[in-house]
Amino acid sequence: MEDYLKFKYTHEDIFRLFVDSIVPSICETAAFQRLKGISFLGAVERTPEYSKRRNNRFDHSIGVALLAQYYAQKMGFSERDRIAVVVAALLHDIGHAPLSHSIEPLFAERFGLDHHVATEKILRGEVGLGKGLHSTLSKYAIDADELINLMSGADRTKTGRIFSSPINVDTVEAIWRGGSYVRKQFFHPLSVLDAFIECDFKTGSIVDRFWAEKHSFYWLMIYSKDGVAADYWARDRVGGNKRLAPDDFYLTEKHFMCKYVAETVSKVDPVEVSIKVRHFEVDERQEVSCYDTLSARYKVVKSKKSVLLHPPKKLESFRNSTLLLI
């Protein structure tokens, strides 16, 4: 299992690692190939600190699907259920916008369009980008609405709990991948999944450590000054442009940046921003008796944080390899 999970996957890896032929077929569609051009963490990956350690939604999605396949095999799922959870995991990020969460709030505010809405439109073939993928799903008799139900966390049976639980395949792969940014190997995802399957949630378990490491990663990267600044200035550059259109949501970052090549930040003075943050805490007093009680032990506490941001040192255009110089 040493090479079961990787930070980068080749065409050969996809054929070698997956059991079901539908996976390579999906990976060849235009909608999935687009994910190679969608950064995993968004604008922060284009700052000097992290520009050489980029990840994308393509490789992350394959990793999540591999975890789902591992889970399905360990649980002894039928072929139908295995394919359903693997395909849902593979396509869970299919609707991400250019620069992922960094730019998405602009589309949500103006057009009511976020990655959940976009995912449904793509899976149902309601937008041009999704036509080929929808055709592939139909060819294999995969119901888009069933996938959407799994991805949303609405299915809380043993089939869907790897999406609905706080300990889910998406976040497990994401935090493991996040270690590549901070040059730290947090844990092995398969060990977390094994503990999840075995209901090993006692104090000091690898699941407890994973939840603590998730908190650490968020505060080292997402809520760091660089992370907050990258998101803010990226939105600032695009936010004042009246040409922004719903179809831009489905572009790759390369094409998105070319369209907004002349954009520069609108402000030149420092600005204090308030952001919503989450704390991931383990409540050791709470013993887990079943999967439905996991959220009592693995808590998410929301609060706000103020950050003083300075404009980029150089008002660079999107065409440059480093979007923001903070």
Res 119 pLDDT > 50: yes
Confidence tier at 54 by pLDDT (50, 70, 90): confident
What pLDDT sits at residue 136? 98
CA atoms within a 13 Å half-sphere pointing along the CA-CB vector of 248: 23
2 — pLDDT class (breaks 50, 70, 90) = low
Distance CA 98, CA 237 (A): 14
Stretch 156-169: mean pLDDT: 95
pLDDT at 17: 97
Q: Residue range 77-94: average pLDDT?
A: 98
Residue partners of 61: CB distance under 8 A and separation at least 6: 32, 35, 89, 90, 91, 92, 93, 94
Q: What is the pLDDT of residue 242?
A: 83
Question: Rounded distance, CA 161 to CA 132, Å?
Answer: 29
Q: Is residue 164's pLDDT more than 70?
A: yes
DSSP one-letter code for 37: G
Q: How confident is the model at residue 272 (pLDDT cuts 50, 70, 90)?
A: very high
Percentage of the chain beyond pLDDT 70 is 92
Which residue would you say has higher pLDDT here, 312 or 310?
Answer: 310
Range in 105-109, 131-135, 159-163, 320-324 the model is least confident about: 320-324
Q: Is 39 helix (H, G, I), strand (E, B) or coil?
A: strand
Q: What is the CATH number of domain 11-309?
A: 1.10.3210.10
Percent pLDDT > 90 in the chain is 75
The answer to whether 91 and 123 are in contact (CB under 8 A) is yes
Domain boundaries, the chain: 11-309
Q: What is the pLDDT of residue 229?
A: 92
Burial of 16 (0-12, 13-18, 19+ CB in 10 A): exposed
Higher-scoring residue by pLDDT: 151, 258: 151
pLDDT bin (cut points 50, 70, 90) of residue 326 is very low
Q: What is the mean pLDDT of residues 171-184?
A: 88
**pLDDT attached to residue 212:** 94
Does the pTM surpass 0.85? The reply is yes
pLDDT, position 266? 59
Query: How buried is residue 248: exposed, middle or buried, by Cβ count under 10 Å (0-12/13-18/19+)?
Result: buried
pLDDT mean across residues, the chain: 90
Work out the average pLDDT over 64-78: 98
Query: What are the tokens at 29?
Result: 């569609």
pLDDT at 316: 43
In the numeric block, the tokens 């944080």 are attached to 305
State the average pLDDT over residues 90-107. 95
Task: Indicate the range of 55-64, 96-105, 135-144, 284-293 predicted with least confidence.
Answer: 284-293
Q: Where residue 264 falls among pLDDT bands split at 50, 70, 90?
A: low
The whole-number pLDDT of residue 261 equals 59
pLDDT at 267: 59
pLDDT value at 139 more than 90: yes
The Cα 264–Cα 73 span in angstroms is 50
